[in-house]
Amino acid sequence: MRSLILDLLNKDKEKLLKSSLAKAHENNDKCNSFVTILDDAKVNTNNGAFKGISYALKDNISTKGILSTASSNTLKNYIPPYSATSYLALEREGATLIGKTTMDEFGMGGTAKTAHTGLVRNPLDTLRTPGGSSAGSAVAVSAGVVPFAIGTDTGDSIRKPASYTGIVGYKPTYGMISRYGLMPFASSLDHVGVLSKYVYDAAYVVNYIKGKDEKDMTSFDSSNIDLLKDIDKDIKGKRLFYIKEIADINEYENPSDELVSILKEFNNKIDAIRNIGVEVEEVSIDKKLLNVLNTAYIAIATAEATSNLSNMTGIQFGEREDGENIYELMKNFRTKNFSSLIKRRFVIGSFVLQKENQERYFVNAQRVRAKIVSIMNDLFTKYDGLILPASGNVAPKLSDINDNMSKTELAINNHMVIGNFGGYPSITIPFVNYNNLPVGLNITGPKVSDANILNIAYKLEELIDYKEVR
Amino acid sequence: MSKITKELIYKYASDLLIGLTVEENKMVLDEFDIINEKMDEIANLEGISSIEPMALQDSVDEVALRSDVVSDELTTDEVIANASNKTLDAIVVPKVVE
Amino acid sequence: MKLFPTIGIEMHAELKSNSKAFSTAENTYTKHSNNHVSPVDLGLPGILPVVNLEPVKKGIKMATILNCEIPEYLYYDRKNYYYPDLPKGYQITQSHAPIGINGHIEVPFNGETKEFLIHDIHLEEDSAKMEHLTSESLINYNRSGIPLLELVTEPTFHSKEEVMAFLEYIRRVYQYTDISEADIRKGQIRCDVNISLSTDENTLGTKVEIKNVNGFANVEKVIDAEIARQTKLFEDGRESEIEQETRRYDEASNTTIRMRSKADAIDYKYFIEPNIPKMKITKELINDSIKDIPKLPLERINYYKSLGLTEEDYNPIIKDRLLSDYVNEVLESKADAKLAINFITANIISFINRNEISINELRVKPSDIILVLSKMSDNSISSKQAKEVVEKLLTTDSDINSIISEYSQNSNEDELATLISNIISNSPNEVEAYKNGRTNLFNFFVGQVMKETKGKANPVLTKELIEKELSK
């Protein structure tokens, strides 16, 4: 089995913890990957699946008694009085929490530049972004600080950073892991998931923290699903498809060398996959629809986020601001503490919900969502999964990126939102390096087909035999 | 739909209890251009208006409601712990007049 | 000028349940602050609502009582606004698919009944409670998340009296059905009142909303005050100044005061709560919700009327479902209705009122009353004795049968005749005097019989037998 976790299960956990903490500091100095490093952490002695192995949590996961900021100034001193269900599951299973990782504020945005503690750097090239929003979690795994880290994914917030840092990012079916205690960005799209070096490890972690939670009505009972049992089964005869409008270089006007190279590698891999007996077919989806997925995502996500973060007023928690009256007080708190991106997105999110705009913006966005989900559900009756490059580029330079909207966004860079729209299991594995930087391969399948998708990902990981940068 | 102006954007922000800088206002205004263009594309998708919108995820399990049992209360100290201004058992805000 | 008022009501009632609407904290009323609060009620980052079945069942129950249509699926929406008593920055409510729509209900009105129209009823959650001090306000989250049912009528009322009859009746229905305690002192009922005046019976005037009216007495005052205000504007020819707006009631001045105009109306940006999955409202759930609906007050009133009872007879009874259940159990024994009601009113209701207890805390059960009434009707005990039996039963722990037997009259003619014959033959002087005209000595013989029988001799029979014996 390709697995770090299995290797570590019987190792000395005191030593592992010490080394994880030391690496965390070193990595944090270099990449700003942690909001909090738990220097006085003790090896977890609970008798569970993790036997004391160290891990890190994204800072939007509520941890009782431990600072949980979601990388926002609004919560810079917030110590929750309750714990997220996913964190409690890891505690119960004997995993040792060594720190809380830096993220894009409240999970909004993918640049890794909006955390209240500053931007996060890619350990493979510190001038570059690791991607967001699960930036610190991806960095900590990529740099070998911890064998796995918990992330969250609303648009592609686990799977994009995984692509940019050369690791595995897995977002299970919506509801497989409880969201209770996940500080929300957009509730209908948010997922808890995992970043790890290997597919097996991602499956291992989710296998032990999944389950129906009475505190999350959208969670479901998956006790009959074993994500590990058949993970290395032969995948001959499985059926995959890719979207022509995204994967065919002829669809692009003036493609960059980078994109040309990535798609060429992708096609080579498709051939290799066919050679091991997996059927891969090309499917066409209306470009007009693909081109508006990101806008639909922005409308839905920002609308939900505006409402979800209405509790950030400085009254029940947060460092209170002054104000002539209660509204001024709340306004000052929000104006001072939210990043510029969040404030701008809030205006959009609130605009699309306004009575006179809701139908044209928010509801039409939900219709786009319904449309693509219905197309995918149909395709998933014929195929085990969708396979595409996780992005059309390697990690960009921090200085080259911002969160501003652009008219010319390529579907190849935001198609993974389909996984959030439909709540599908979706996994990114590293597959190729371009200019010494990694790009991931994404596989997305129908709801609750997690075991099948992990099986495919595991076998493709074996086939691809990705060589880490350096 | 009315034309989006600088003033409207300030009002929308203010309704959200948010202040915007001049630069931020300008950025939002520019972004609305993009969004509106894209929203036109969406509105022009064939058959869009007849699609049932997807507001939430379809449930995997049959949905069951919670039975009416008490648990999980915070202590009073926990309730007020994170508030900046409080008494022994309540959170304090400037007097609210309405 | 003849003006026609049209009134609509939004009535919020706190629902009875163990735990809150979307959290597991206790739904209770205490004098302490912030001791029944879960992370959900405090709106902490990361919390999720989990729907409590109980308020849903109560919503379905009320929807059924109000003859509403119940939707196919259960949905909740978010109502977004900022206020310090609203910790999440939104209230979970039902906007686009309320638990009941398009209903109607018949309500007792002026000795008859009248039907009023219901727009919808919907489930939602209460906000935190604020206490306003001189310069600060305190927030107590105990109330945050308590389940509410909001009942929205159509503009269906045309007088204050109709509104009050409706509100009182709905309140009684809530109490009968255990949907809500509907305790006004605890602030469990709050109303918004919509009023418009028109010179023409068939058209609606401009609607003015008066928000957050606490208690029914204030609803009455608000209606009077607002009708007076609008009437004055009509009389002055300034009716065009009546604006579609939101006002509030100021108790001190007994007037309504402007809060905001329609132009400033808050856009609540409703959208479907994404954390609560769509759930089918099944036949089973509906049946389970409505299976324990008791006979409602109107049905009971009709029953009492059919037994020849008057409003004065049944009004004190229907105030309380348990009392009415109690009375009905007695009435079902075929006891004389009028007699039974009078007996219960005089002996039972006065006792529970005096002692401020509930009817179900009483030792005297309907079966006891039935027994006492039957003993009265077959003359085993007098009405005075019946009263004493019940009194004893209420205040001691003796057993009904032993009390009754203690009181039961001796109506055995042979036994009494022998006793009387003995008394008369043992009192030759008194018999002589009686026969010589001292007729008041008759009571001496009665007294002797009562003494011998410890008062249990049937007085009518006793007198008859003494007369017979003396005339021998």
CB interface of A with C, residues 43-62, below 8 Å:
60-62
User: Which of B16, B21, B51 lies closest to A347 in CB terms?
Assistant: B16
pLDDT at C406 over 80: no
Q: Is C34 on the interface with A (CB under 8 A)?
A: no
pLDDT tens-digit series, residues A301-337: 999 999 999 999 999 999 999 998 999 999 999 999 9
CB interface of C with A, residues 245-284, below 8 Å:
267, 269, 271, 274-277
pLDDT tens-digit series, residues C336-383: 999 999 999 999 998 988 888 888 888 899 999 999 898 888 877 878
Mean pLDDT of chain A: 97
pLDDT at C9 over 90: yes
Instruction: Please list every residue in chain B whose beta carbon sits closer than 8 Å to the beta carbon of residue A306.
Output: 16
pLDDT tens-digit series, residues C82-110: 999 999 999 999 999 999 999 999 999 99
pLDDT of residue C86: 97
Segment A130-150 shows an average pLDDT of: 98
Q: Return the DSSP state at C458.
A: -
Q: Which chains share 3+ C-beta pairs under 8 angstroms with B? A: A, C
Residue showing tokens 């706190």:
C14
Distance of CA A335 to the CA centre of its chain: 28
C45 contacts A75? CB cut-off 8 A: yes
**CA-nearest residue of chain A to C265?**
A355
Q: How confident is the model at residue C398 (pLDDT cuts 50, 70, 90)?
A: confident
Residues in Cβ contact with C455 at an 8 Å cutoff, skipping those fewer than 6 apart:
none
Tell me which of A66, A82, A213 to substitute to probe the interface with C (most C C-beta atoms closer than 10 Å): A82
Asked whether residue B85 is domain-assigned, the answer is no
Mean pLDDT of chain C: 92
pLDDT tens-digit series, residues B21-32: 999 999 999 999
pLDDT tens-digit series, residues A79-116: 999 999 999 999 999 999 999 999 999 999 899 999 99
pLDDT of residue C435: 87
**CA-nearest residue of chain B to C132?**
B95
Which tokens belong to C275? Answer: 């954390």
A75 contacts C46? CB cut-off 8 A: no
pLDDT at C235 over 90: yes
Instruction: Please list every residue in chain C whose beta carbon sits closer than 8 Å to the beta carbon of residue A306.
Output: 80
- Domains of chain A (ranges, CATH numbers): 1-470 (3.90.1300.10)
pLDDT of residue C250: 92
Instruction: Please list every residue in chain A whose beta carbon sits closer than 8 Å to the beta carbon of residue B94.
Output: 323, 325-326, 329
What are the C-alpha distances in Å from A213 to residues A81, A170, C412?
19, 20, 76
- Which residue is catalytic, options A83, A133, A178, A339? A133
Distance CA A65, CA A55 (A): 18
> H or E stretch including A168?
strand A168-171
User: Which of C19, C24, C139 lies closest to B91 in CB terms?
Assistant: C139
- The verdict on ipTM greater than 0.85 is yes
Task: Work out the minimum CA distance from B88 to partner chain A, whole angstroms.
Answer: 14
Segment B77-88 shows an average pLDDT of: 96
Asked whether residue B2 is domain-assigned, the answer is yes
Task: Work out the minimum CA distance from C120 to partner chain B, whole angstroms.
Answer: 22
Range of the domain at B23: 1-50
pLDDT of residue C260: 87
CATH fit for domain C413-470, picks 1.10.150.300, 1.10.10.10, 1.10.10.410, 3.40.50.300: 1.10.10.410
pLDDT of residue C441: 87
Sheet holding C189-198, edge to edge: C100-109, C112-125, C147-153, C4-14, C189-198, C208-214, C245-250, C255-261
Residues in Cβ contact with C317 at an 8 Å cutoff, skipping those fewer than 6 apart:
C304, C323, C324, C327, C341, C344, C345, C349
Segment C9-36 shows an average pLDDT of: 97
Residue showing tokens 């039963």:
C393
CB interface of B with A, residues 30-59, below 8 Å:
31-32, 34-35, 37-39, 41-43, 45, 48-49, 51-59
Helix residue spans in C319-441 (DSSP H): 321-331, 337-344, 350-355, 366-377, 383-395, 400-407, 413-425, 428-435
Residues in Cβ contact with C11 at an 8 Å cutoff, skipping those fewer than 6 apart:
C150, C151, C153, C167, C170, C189, C190, C191
- Does residue A293 contact residue A418 with C-beta atoms inside 8 Å? yes
C48 contacts A215? CB cut-off 8 A: yes
- Does residue A195 contact residue A161 with C-beta atoms inside 8 Å? yes
Q: From the CB of residue C335, how many other CB atoms can be counted at a distance below 10 Å?
A: 20
Q: How confident is the model at residue A149 (pLDDT cuts 50, 70, 90)?
A: very high
- Does residue A466 contact residue A166 with C-beta atoms inside 8 Å? yes
pLDDT at C208 over 90: yes
pLDDT of residue A120: 98
Instruction: Please list every residue in chain A whose beta carbon sits closer than 8 Å to the beta carbon of residue B39.
Output: 295, 299, 360-361, 364
pLDDT at B2 over 70: no
B13 contacts A369? CB cut-off 8 A: no
Q: Is B42 on the interface with C (CB under 8 A)?
A: no
Asked whether residue B86 is domain-assigned, the answer is no
Task: Work out the minimum CA distance from C169 to partner chain B, whole angstroms.
Answer: 28
Segment C424-443 shows an average pLDDT of: 88
Least confident of A207-216, C59-68, C386-395: C386-395
Interface A-C, measured as beta-carbon pairs within 8 A, has a size of 104
Q: Is B85 on the interface with A (CB under 8 A)?
A: yes
User: Which one, of A66, A302, B60, lies nearest residue C269 by Cα?
Assistant: A302
Least confident of A373-382, C61-70, C373-382: C373-382
Beta bridge partners of C153: C118
Task: Work out the minimum CA distance from A330 to partner chain C, whole angstroms.
Answer: 9
- Does residue B21 contact residue B49 with C-beta atoms inside 8 Å? no
Asked whether residue B75 is domain-assigned, the answer is no
B61 contacts A220? CB cut-off 8 A: yes
B69 contacts C32? CB cut-off 8 A: no
pLDDT at B1 over 60: no
pLDDT tens-digit series, residues A12-46: 999 999 999 999 999 999 999 999 999 999 999 99
Q: Which chains share 3+ C-beta pairs under 8 angstroms with C? A: A, B
pLDDT tens-digit series, residues A379-419: 999 999 999 999 999 999 999 998 888 877 889 999 999 99
C82 contacts B69? CB cut-off 8 A: no
Distance CA B30, CA A300 (A): 19
**CA-nearest residue of chain A to B76?**
A81
For chain A, give the percent of residues with pLDDT over 90. 96
C19 contacts B89? CB cut-off 8 A: no
Q: Is C43 on the interface with A (CB under 8 A)?
A: yes
C56 contacts B65? CB cut-off 8 A: yes
A82 contacts B74? CB cut-off 8 A: yes
Task: Please say whether the dihedral angle defined by the alpha carbons of residues C347, C349, C351 and C354, taken in this order, is positive or negative.
Answer: negative
Q: Which chains share 3+ C-beta pairs under 8 angstroms with A? A: B, C
Residues in Cβ contact with A422 at an 8 Å cutoff, skipping those fewer than 6 apart:
A372, A373, A376, A377, A447
Sheet holding C90-93, edge to edge: C90-93, C77-80, C271-272
Residues in Cβ contact with C465 at an 8 Å cutoff, skipping those fewer than 6 apart:
C413, C416, C417, C420
DSSP per-residue string spanning C188-228? -EEEEEEEEEESSTTS----EEEEEEESHHHHHHHHHHHHH
Q: Phi, psi at residue C287, to the nearest 5°?
A: -60, -40
- The tally of domains found in chain B comes to 1
Q: How confident is the model at residue A470 (pLDDT cuts 50, 70, 90)?
A: low
pLDDT tens-digit series, residues C148-164: 999 999 999 999 999 99
C38 contacts B95? CB cut-off 8 A: no
B95 contacts C134? CB cut-off 8 A: yes
Tell me which of C20, C34, C141 to substitute to probe the interface with B (most B C-beta atoms closer than 10 Å): C34
Distance CA C280, CA C154 (A): 27
Tell me which of B2, B79, B82 to substitute to probe the interface with C (most C C-beta atoms closer than 10 Å): B79
Task: Work out the minimum CA distance from B67 to partner chain C, whole angstroms.
Answer: 6
DSSP per-residue string spanning B9-67? HHHHHHHTT----HHHHHHHHHHHHHHHHHHHHHHTSTTGGGSPP--SPPPSSPP-PBP
Using DSSP, state whether A152 is helix, strand or coil. strand
Instruction: Please list every residue in chain C whose beta carbon sits closer than 8 Å to the beta carbon of residue A183.
Output: 45-46
Residue type, C419: L
Q: Is B82 on the interface with A (CB under 8 A)?
A: yes
Segment A454-459 shows an average pLDDT of: 98
- Which residue is catalytic, options A58, A113, A160, A269? A58
Instruction: Please list every residue in chain C whose beta carbon sits closer than 8 Å to the beta carbon of residue B96.
Output: 84, 130, 132, 137
- What dihedral do alpha carbons B63, B68, B74, B76 form, nearest 10°? 140
The question of whether A58 is a catalytic residue gets the answer yes
pLDDT at C292 over 90: yes
Interface A-B, measured as beta-carbon pairs within 8 A, has a size of 169
Instruction: Please list every residue in chain B whose beta carbon sits closer than 8 Å to the beta carbon of residue A421.
Output: 54
User: Which of B38, B79, B93 lies closest to A292 in CB terms?
Assistant: B38
**Cα end-to-end distance, chain A, whole Å:** 23
- Which residue is catalytic, options A83, A157, A163, A339? A157
